[in-house]
Amino acid sequence: MGANSSSIADLANNSYLQRLAGTETISENDPFWNQLLSFSFTTPTNGADTQLLEEATLSISKSLIENNSRTENLQALVKIFLSRTNELKISAECQDQLFIWQAHNALFIIRCLLKVFVSQMPEEELQLNFTYQERAPLSYGAEAEDLLEELICNLVHLIIELPLLDITYSILLESVTTLLVLLSYQLFQKEIIRESLIYKCLMQGQCLQYTSRIVKTLLYNFIRQEKCPPPGSQVLEQTSEGSGLLYGFASGVASGLWTVLTLGGVGNKATQQGDLSSPLANRSLLLLLVLSNLSNTPESPNPYRQSIMSFKNTQDNTAIQTPNSYCFQINFNSLYTALYEQQKSDQATLLLYTLLHQNPNVRTYVLARTDVENLVLPILETLYCVEERNSHHVYMALIILLILTEEDSFNRSVHEVILKNITWYAERVLTEISLGSLLILVVIRTVQYNMTRTRDKYLHTNCLAALANMSAQFRSLHQYAAQRIISLFALLSKKHNKVLEQATQSLRGPVGAEENSPIPDYAQDLNVIEEVIRMMLEIINSCLSTSLHHNPNLVYALLYKRDLFEQFRTHPSFQDVMQNLDMVISFFSFRLEQAGADLSVERVLEVIKQGAVALPKDKLKKFPELKFKYVEEEQPEEFFVPYIWSLAYNSTAELYWNPQQVQLFTMDSG
């Protein structure tokens, strides 16, 4: 069921909400709180429903902002919620749905109000709205409480302690979401936040002791991919008399204040795929990524990043060396399965990158797997569908391949895995191909796409670096992969000639151009294209000099297009690397001439295979091995923080942020 806009529109005039936001102070013991929290609903599942809800209650939220410094009603609501969190675990064990239901409702209201507060005021003012002075009799002179850190710590504690059951799913999801809302101050700042009261609570305060447990829990939420329970299993149903468990409030508020919405139910076509399958897994992963990318300096390291960098496999019998709050163990097999099953999402790709780059235990485990195709294939499909993916997702996928290709064991193993019928590869029917050859095809296709569309040098560099890392281990290249390697070189050669012609023409004077018009920097363009050409020549040379006898299809493609290389033989930038190619072309051309004319493809390949055995190894000049390693930028948060928050902005169905208020990224790039 979707939201009913007419009933939501009445929220601004609801007497209970008006009293909460009004000028009257409401005591913690007032029956009003039981009435306010006794509505039956489940959380909205798409931005449209949430936007309607937020717009309808905006006047209420602004009234509360205006009056709360005097009434402290928000603090009273927070106190009501905090008083219930300690008993939630017992309530879950006893199947006490009523208690969990009301605690969830309290947290939902807090989160909705917080979302407006965060967008409307700085952290210092938010903290003042969470400073509570008890006004009960005999409490005069009592010390004021800071409820902000207490709320944050209680949410963290709730996430790690409360078991995941049908009746606790909603409140666990709400707890994760509320922490994301508190951290969403970043959305409203153009610069990366490096110091923050909320960051301090999470990284230096009472929460520090829970670092490893919250990271482990969020990871397990991602691994488990628990779907949202069916409607009716999380919330209490209204009684036929409209009273009972709803404290007589259902008829007056549950039907008029909130519309009953179905989380993950039918009719919500706008729901994102990730949220639809498992909103808790999706939200937990976003929170984990946000936490691990909070400010990190040598003087004050990010504990969540430290935890991600150091956790181990449950099968690892070596004891954790230094007992601290960062280290823990988790089932790597389950983690690996979740990672490859969820690779279509940006978040899962970003998590995989983070673990491969920062956690040596995970990296070693992944490289030792014998089913590496399960992980690599979805990454290749992401690159293949480049037009449908955002540029950040493509970059992450490429960097993952670059990290994997740094290891020779990976580069050997991908050529040993034979795949059947790759249905998503449309250019050509591939009934049987090695994973290594498919990887080469997809990376080359990405380079060609980049040359004609985005023209991003960084993307070029990563693609060619991955191919270079693999080149010495090329084995039994598929004939189509060999053809595409030479075709890419042909495309680069054509581009080189065009730029060279333009540069020559510019020296003679631009034809038909205005006198003061700027002249393109053809010298720089020529330098870039020559760097790429040289790298392609080095990749081909690396394969020929180390594994020529394993790659007759590459030699065949090289001979078929031998004229392409003629112009580069005497070019000063390529003379050294062209020596081996010249020798290979001359050697095999001579043997083919001796074999006679009008040879079939099969006969040519037979001559090449015989020649590869006869070719003396010492005739090929040895060059240094091509090895490129991924190096993260000095301030990676400048890239990752906007990226992660753009994912939260675009993929979190339950949350809606006003695009006019968001400052961290432009809406076009977001």
- Please tell me which residue, 47 or 451, carries the higher pLDDT value: 451
Above 60 in pLDDT, residue 237?
A: no
Q: What's the pLDDT tens digit per position in 307-326?
A: 999 999 998 877 565 556 58
pLDDT tens-place string over residues 85-105:
888 888 888 887 888 888 999
What is the pLDDT, as a whole number, of residue 638? 87
Ramachandran class of 481: left when φ > 0, alpha when ψ lies in -120 to 50, beta otherwise: alpha
Q: What is the pLDDT of residue 563?
A: 92
pLDDT at 457: 75
Of these ranges, 133-137, 140-144, 462-466, the one predicted with the greatest mean pLDDT is: 462-466
**Arithmetic mean of pLDDT over the chain:** 84
Mean pLDDT of 46-74: 86
Least confident of 233-247, 508-522, 652-666: 233-247
Tens digits of residue pLDDT in 370-397: 999 999 999 999 999 988 888 899 999 9
DSSP-based three-state secondary structure for 488: helix
Give the pLDDT confidence score for residue 599 in this predicted structure. 87
pLDDT tens for residues 554-602?
999 999 999 999 989 888 888 888 988 999 999 999 999 888 888 899 9
Q: Please give the distance of CA 137 from its chain centroid, rounded to a whole number.
A: 52
In sequence order, the β-bridge partners of residue 645 are none
654 alpha-carbon distance from chain centroid: 18
pLDDT tens-digit series, residues 275-291: 457 999 999 999 999 99
Cβ pair 547, 472 in contact under 8 A: yes
C-alpha to C-alpha distance for 536 and 556, rounded to whole angstroms: 17
Q: What is the pLDDT of residue 274?
A: 41
The proportion of the chain whose per-residue pLDDT surpasses 70, expressed as a percent, equals 84
Cβ proximity of 289 and 351 under 8 Å: yes
Q: How confident is the model at residue 140 (pLDDT cuts 50, 70, 90)?
A: low
Quote the pLDDT of residue 238. 40
SS3 state at 418: strand
pLDDT at 43: 62
**Tell me, what's the pLDDT at 270?**
34
From residue 459, alpha-carbon distances to 16, 185, 397, 398, 450 in Å are: 56, 31, 11, 8, 7
**What is the reported pLDDT for 92?**
81
* Candidate from 180-189, 534-543, 648-657 with smallest mean pLDDT: 648-657
* Per-residue pLDDT reduced to its tens digit, 509-525: 655 555 555 556 777 88
Confidence of residue 148 (pLDDT cuts 50, 70, 90): very high
- Are 556 and 482 in contact by the 8 Å Cβ rule? The answer is yes
pLDDT at position 558: 95
Distance (Å, whole) CA 226 – CA 101:
20
Q: Report yes or no: 559 and 488 within 8 Å, Cβ to Cβ.
A: no
**DSSP secondary structure string, 222-289?**
HHH-PPPPPTTSSSPPPPTTS-GGGTT-IIIIITTT-----TT-TT-TTS-HHHHH-HHHHHHHHHHH
Mean pLDDT of 334-358: 96
User: What angle is formed at CA 329 by the lines to CA 326 and CA 332, rounded to 5 degrees?
Assistant: 125
SS (H, E, C) 316-351: CCCCCCCCCCCCCEECHHHHHHHHHHCCCCHHHHHH
Q: What is the pLDDT of residue 347?
A: 95
| pLDDT exceeds cutoff 70 at 8 | no
Name the pLDDT band for 436 (thresholds 50, 70, 90).
very high
pLDDT recorded at residue 1: 29
Over range 117-126, report the average pLDDT: 93
Q: Is 645 helix (H, G, I), strand (E, B) or coil?
A: helix
Rounded to 10 deg, the angle between the 279-292 and 169-183 helix axes is: 30
| Predicted pLDDT of residue 480 | 96
Q: Tell me the C-alpha distance between 24 and 84, whole Å.
A: 24
Cα 548 to chain center, whole Å? Answer: 39
| pLDDT on residue 89 | 81
- The residue with greater pLDDT, 89 or 172, is 172
What mean pLDDT is predicted for residues 181-186?
94
Categorize the per-residue pLDDT at 5 as very low, low, confident or very high, splitting at 50, 70 and 90.
Answer: very low
Higher pLDDT, 310 or 264: 310
